[in-house]
């Protein structure tokens, strides 16, 4: 039969069928006990009634015969009554001591359950005592019959109930569940377009509707994910700019395919490297400047700054420099880690640089180094139109030094000693943030004026700080350059033909002539106000 293998496998239909069968079996047992008790009690009562009736009749029949001493009749009648199935044997005692025992031929005189006694009276005179030894063999037979019948009925009932309930549960419960299981298997295999057909039961249909709704949502999310992947490929992989991500240590985690076109390097060769490994290496001190610039930007983001921008030269596989504008943004992940998203693009000015003959620009910025770096790139990108690249890089370094001094020492009033101490304790960026939020300094700005001509370039940088004694700083820098006091002025004096401060010391004018100029020879520097 298919029922037995089905019962070996634990399913919801099997458990429900067995549970219902056990419950019905308990009910049948209790009913059987009640029926058994009622039938046995009723049979026992009928037995007593029959024995009482037989005893009364036997007394009436034997009384006259005992009176007349008709012992043959007494014996014949007693034996006849003793053949009854309800009587084991009968004893009769006369007053004179005579005793009669009436029993069937195969009777077991010891197999009796109780004794019923009657006095034999005739004409108001006792002629004997009758003792009937009653057997309840019929009751025992009845009990056995009821037990066997109940057992058979219970077996048939339980088997029938088990079969019927299992069939019904499979028909109305397990089949819908199997349908749901098949649907879930389709969904787990990625077939989110699959829909489970509704069943005939409302509660099952609620589950089916929930699963179908979930599949529809997943299908919708999958379509959105495909669209996002296409957009990602369009925006990232197909982008002409370098788009990458770094960990908090500056190690490259992801990189798009533009790295092959812009730097000539495959993606696999750069993933896992440090970002500074992409920088151009010229074999001179500017390599250290570029590395320091990049590491400072990464450390600022790591310490909490949201975004920053800077201009760097990245190196190609032919070890040629490619200047790019780098934008970095801090992202805090759900795991508590810090990830840096980056984008490196060719400066827009580079595209028009070869067509630029003269240019004048003016900027007013807040006290943010990252913004200053953007301005720095904008006002130095076209210098190579009139001078060698090495000279343009040196001027860029000088202008950067002046911009940094204007923000840090001018507007934010950070002294050289404060900077040296904070740098040593690795709290310099915290100091800058604190000063940027200070009510006395936060509204201060830096003005940058830039003028490019075929014969010269001029930069004017003015902050809103208290100014400083530039002559004293210059002398101090010559003596204490190892502590960076006045280093910016010293370096800048060797890069520009004119380095001129105003009387207050909060504005510097830098001029570089691209061709020898009458009256300004090599090594001549103007530093007076």
**Structural domains of the chain ordered from first start:** 3-158 (3.30.450.20), 239-346 (3.30.450.20), 349-529 (3.30.565.10)
Q: What is the DSSP letter of 277?
A: G
Largest CA distance in the chain: 184
Q: Has residue 171 got a pLDDT over 70?
A: no
Backbone angles phi, psi at 485, to 5 degrees: -70, 120
Say if residue 133's pLDDT is above 70: yes
Q: Give every strand in the sheet of 456-462, ordered side by side.
A: 359-365, 446-452, 456-462, 507-513, 498-501
Q: Which residue is it, tokens 């002398």?
A: 475
Rounded to whole angstroms, the Cα distance separating 210 from 187 reads 13
Q: What is the pLDDT of residue 399?
A: 93
As a whole number, mean pLDDT of residues 489-499 equals 83
Rounded to the nearest 10°, the torsion over CA 161, 167, 172, 174 is 110
| Averaged pLDDT, 428-450 | 91
> Which pLDDT belongs to residue 492?
80
**Distance (Å, whole) CA 472 – CA 147:** 123
131: left (phi over 0), alpha (psi -120 to 50) or beta: beta
Which band of pLDDT confidence, cut at 50, 70 and 90, is reported for residue 201? low
Question: Strand pairing partners for 309?
Answer: 327
- Do the beta carbons of residue 136 and residue 113 sit within 8 Å? yes
For residue 364, report the phi and psi dihedrals to the nearest 5 degrees.
-130, 120
pLDDT tier at 22, thresholds 50, 70, 90: confident
Beta strands, E only, 240-320: 242-247, 252-255, 307-315
Ranked by mean pLDDT, which of 230-244, 307-321, 483-497 comes out on top?
A: 307-321
Most confident of 69-83, 265-279, 322-336: 265-279
What are the backbone angles phi and psi of residue 526, rounded to the nearest 5°? -105, 120
What is the reported pLDDT for 246? 93
Question: Which helix (H) or strand (E) segment is 202 a member of?
Answer: helix 202-232
* Mean pLDDT along residues 47-59: 81
Please choose, from the candidates 425, 421, 508, the residue with its C-alpha nearest in 3D space to the C-alpha of residue 461.
508
**222 vs 438, residue with greater confidence:** 438
Residue 482 confidence class, pLDDT cut points 50, 70, 90: very low
pLDDT at 235 (0 to 100):
59
Task: Summarize the confidence of residues 243-253 as an average pLDDT.
Answer: 91
Rounded average pLDDT over 189-194: 78
pLDDT for residue 522: 41
Residue 331 has phi, psi (to 5 degrees) of -130, 125
Question: 209-216: long-range contacts (C-beta < 8 A, 24 or more apart)?
Answer: 211/180, 211/183, 211/184, 211/187, 212/183, 214/187, 215/183, 215/187, 216/192
* Residue 276: DSSP 8-state: G
Q: Map residue 519 onto helix, strand or coil.
A: coil
- C-alpha span between 217 and 417 (Å, rounded): 62
Q: What one-character DSSP code corresponds to residue 423?
A: H
Q: pLDDT at position 121, please? A: 86
- Per-residue pLDDT, averaged over 332-357, amounts to 77
357 in Cβ contact with 454 (< 8 Å): yes
Give residues with Cβ within 8 angstroms of 289, minimum separation 6.
397
**505 φ/ψ sector (left φ>0, alpha ψ -120 to 50, else beta):** left
Is the pLDDT at 479 greater than 50? The verdict is: no
pTM over the 0.75 mark: no
Q: 11 is written with which tokens? A: 């399913």
State the average pLDDT over residues 440-446.
93
Torsion angles phi and psi, residue 299, rounded to 5? -65, -35
Residue 169 is predicted with a pLDDT of: 67
Please, where are the H alpha helices in 341-463?
Answer: 348-353, 369-380, 389-405, 416-424, 428-437
Query: Percent of the chain at pLDDT above 70?
Result: 82
Residue 65 confidence (pLDDT) above 70:
yes
Q: How far apart are the first and last CA of the chain?
A: 112
- Angstrom distances, CA of residue 23 to CA of 6, 26, 406, 501: 20, 5, 91, 103
Mean pLDDT over the full length of the chain: 80
| Cβ–Cβ under 8 Å, residues 131 and 119 | no
Which position has the token pair 């040196």?
A: 394
Q: What is the pLDDT of residue 172?
A: 64
On the CB side of 92, CA atoms within 13 Å amount to 27
Place of tokens 């790139």: 377
Residues in a beta bridge with 511:
458, 498
């Amino acid at each position: 039969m298919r029922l037995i293998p089905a019962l070996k496998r634990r399913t919801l239909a099997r458990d429900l069928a067995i549970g219902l069968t056990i419950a019905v079996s308990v009910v049948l047992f209790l009913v059987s006990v009640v029926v058994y008790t009622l039938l046995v009690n009723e049979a026992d009562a009928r037995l007593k009634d029959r024995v009482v009736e037989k005893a009364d009749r036997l007394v009436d029949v034997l009384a006259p015969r005992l009176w007349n001493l008709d012992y043959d009749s007494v014996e014949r009648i007693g034996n006849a009554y003793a053949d009854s199935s309800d009587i084991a044997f009968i004893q009769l005692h006369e007053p004179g001591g005579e005793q009669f025992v009436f029993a069937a031929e195969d009777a077991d005189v010891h197999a009796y359950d109780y004794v019923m006694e009657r006095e034999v009276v005739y004409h108001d005179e006792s002629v004997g005592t009758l003792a009937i030894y009653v057997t309840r063999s019929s009751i025992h037979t009845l009990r056995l019959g009821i037990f066997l019948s109940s057992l058979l009925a219970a077996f048939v009932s339980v088997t029938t109930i088990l079969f019927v309930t299992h069939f019904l549960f499979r028909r109305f419960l397990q089949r819908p569940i199997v349908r749901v299981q098949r649907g879930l298997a389709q969904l787990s295999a990625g077939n989110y377009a699959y829909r489970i057909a509704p069943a005939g039961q409302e509660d099952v249909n609620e589950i089916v509707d929930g699963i179908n709704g979930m599949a529809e949502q997943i299908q919708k999310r999958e379509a959105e994910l495909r669209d996002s992947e296409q957009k990602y490929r369009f925006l990232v992989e197909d982008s002409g700019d370098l788009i990458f991500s770094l960990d908090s240590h500056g190690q490259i985690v992801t990189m798009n395919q533009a790295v092959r076109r812009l730097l000539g390097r495959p993606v696999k060769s750069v993933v896992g490297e440090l970002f500074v490994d992409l920088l151009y290496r010229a074999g001179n001190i500017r390599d250290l400047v570029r590395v320091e610039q990049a590491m400072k930007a990464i450390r600022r983001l790591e310490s909490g700054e949201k975004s920053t921008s800077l201009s760097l030269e990245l190196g190609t596989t032919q070890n040629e420099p490619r200047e790019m504008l780098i934008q970095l943004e801090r992202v805090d992940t759900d795991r508590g880690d810090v990830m840096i998203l980056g984008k490196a693009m060719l400066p827009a000015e580079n595209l028009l640089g070869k067509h630029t003959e003269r240019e004048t620009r003016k900027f007013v910025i807040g006290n943010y180094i990252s913004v200053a770096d953007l301005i720095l790139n904008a006002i130095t990108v076209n210098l190579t139109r009139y001078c060698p690249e090495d000279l343009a890089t040196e001027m860029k370094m000088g202008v950067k030094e002046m911009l940094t001094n204007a923000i840090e020492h001018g507007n934010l009033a950070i002294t050289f000693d404060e900077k040296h101490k904070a740098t040593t304790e690795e709290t310099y960026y915290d100091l800058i943030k604190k000063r940027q939020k200070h009510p006395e300094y936060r509204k201060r700005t830096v003005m940058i004026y830039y003028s490019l001509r075929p014969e010269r370039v001029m930069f004017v940088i003015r902050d809103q700080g208290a100014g400083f004694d530039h002559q004293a700083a210059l002398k101090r820098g010559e003596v204490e350059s190892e502590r960076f006091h006045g280093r910016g002025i010293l370096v800048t004096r060797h890069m520009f033909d004119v380095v001129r401060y105003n009387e207050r010391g909060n504005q510097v004018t830098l001029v570089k002539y691209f061709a020898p100029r009458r009256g300004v020879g090599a090594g001549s520097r103007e530093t007076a106000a």
